[in-house]
Amino acid sequence: MTAPVLEVKCLKKYFESSGWFSDDPPAKAVDGVSFSIEEGETLALIGESGSGKSTIAKTIIDIHETTDGLIRYQGEDITNPISDQMETIRSDIQLVFQDPTSCLNPRRTIRKTLLVPLKATGVPTENREARVSEMLERVGLTDEYLHKYPHELSGGQKQRVNIARALAVEPKLLILDEPTSALDVSVQAKIINLLDDLQDELDLTYLFITHDLSLVRNFADETAVMYLGKIQEQGPTEEIFESPRHPYTRALLSSIP
Ligand code: ADP
Ligand code: MG
């Protein structure tokens, strides 16, 4: 049996209170979270704002230091990674954020934006232009977007560029942190469909973070429900929707229009 792509065990991330003289206890943003994701699967991490979802994402890719617990990528311990492991993480695990604008350099054309990661990961110069076109095509954009700037694109198109950029380094795991929350509902569905297609084509594994339950039902294999830094309930998505056990999950479900 092969190891899960991602395995998180009893993960804790506490933030020390920042005031100089403060005796406040540390904020337990993530307080003993465990889950694993098998290759090619999608785990949805759902829960209201402030429940600790983004902190988990940032701890996995080492933006935050882990307070306690274990993070394994393909069986290898990457908790507070050493520099070798950092390189693996940077190429194999990519993060797509909520806000499609803030991560795009307004002064860079789409072509330039997509060339940067290719250059950084050592794709030979002569192959780069073709790769840029190929990436654009994968996310449903044509070459006519190559010489446009971010401000000339709609929100959905910008998020497509962000996804293309994440795919440039041929990652195995995508952490999608509210990737559609800033978009109109009709555009959300298109991006979800795109992610679904890409997963099949490229054998990607997803950690899909959202506060919007209605998005995950037909998309995620497994769902974990977070509240106050803990997973309250997790299991196959269908089961969570059909027979939620935890009162918090029931409350969440009843809020779907
Ligand atoms: P979510 O993504 O589910 O909305 P977050 O992971 O962003 O939640 O936040 C979880 C908790 O951790 C919140 O109470 C938030 O205020 C706190 N938190 C997040 N980042 C930091 C930080 N850098 N320093 C201190 N507290 C933080
Ligand atoms: Mg968040």
- CATH code, domain carrying 72: 3.40.50.300
Rounded distance between C-alpha atoms, residue 144 and residue 150, angstroms: 13
Ligand 1 centre to CA of 55 (Å) is 6
pLDDT of residue 213: 86
Side-chain half-sphere CA neighbours of 194 within 13 A: 25
Atom number in ligand 1 closest to CA 13 = 12
Residue 1 inside a domain? The answer is no
Q: Which of 13, 14, 15, 252 to mutate to test the pocket of ligand 1 (most atoms within 8 A of CB)?
A: 15
What Rg do the C-alpha atoms of the chain give, in angstroms?
19
Residue 168 inside a domain? The answer is yes
Question: Which tokens in the block code for residue 67?
Answer: 């307070």
Q: By alpha-carbon position, which residue is closest to atom 23 of ligand 1? A: 15
**Residue from 181, 198, 167, 170 nearest 53 by CA:** 181
What number of residues does the chain have? 257
pLDDT of residue 87: 81
pLDDT of residue 20: 64
Which residues are 46's β-sheet partners? 210, 225
Q: By alpha-carbon position, which residue is closest to atom 20 of ligand 1? A: 55
Rounded distance between C-alpha atoms, residue 13 and residue 158, angstroms: 31
Rounded distance between C-alpha atoms, residue 66 and residue 77, angstroms: 12
Structural domain that includes position 93: 6-254
Residue pair 240/233 in contact (Cβ under 8 Å)? The answer is yes
Split into its structural domains, the chain has a count of: 1
Atom number in ligand 1 closest to CA 64 = 23
Atom number in ligand 1 closest to CA 47 = 3
Burial of 22 (0-12, 13-18, 19+ CB in 10 A): exposed
Residue pair 128/115 in contact (Cβ under 8 Å)? The answer is yes
Angle 233-173-53 (CA atoms, 0-180°, nearest 5)?
A: 40
pLDDT of residue 21: 64
Successive 10-residue mean pLDDT values, the chain, 257 residues: 94 84 80 97 95 96 94 94 82 86 88 93 92 95 95 94 92 95 91 95 96 89 96 96 94 82
Atom number in ligand 1 closest to CA 15 = 25
Inter-axis angle of helices 125-138 and 155-167, nearest 10? 130
Q: Which of 55, 61, 225 to mutate to test the pocket of ligand 1 (most atoms within 8 A of CB)?
A: 55
Q: By alpha-carbon position, which residue is closest to atom 7 of ligand 1? A: 54
The three-state secondary structure class of 74 is coil
Residue 131 inside a domain? The answer is yes
pLDDT of residue 236: 97
Pocket of ligand 1 (CB under 6 A): 15, 27, 29, 47, 49-55
Interface confidence: ipTM more than 0.85? yes
pLDDT of residue 24: 74
Q: By alpha-carbon position, which residue is closest to atom 14 of ligand 1? A: 50
75 Ramachandran zone, left/alpha/beta (phi>0; psi -120 to 50): left
Rounded to 5 degrees, φ, ψ at 98 are -65, -55
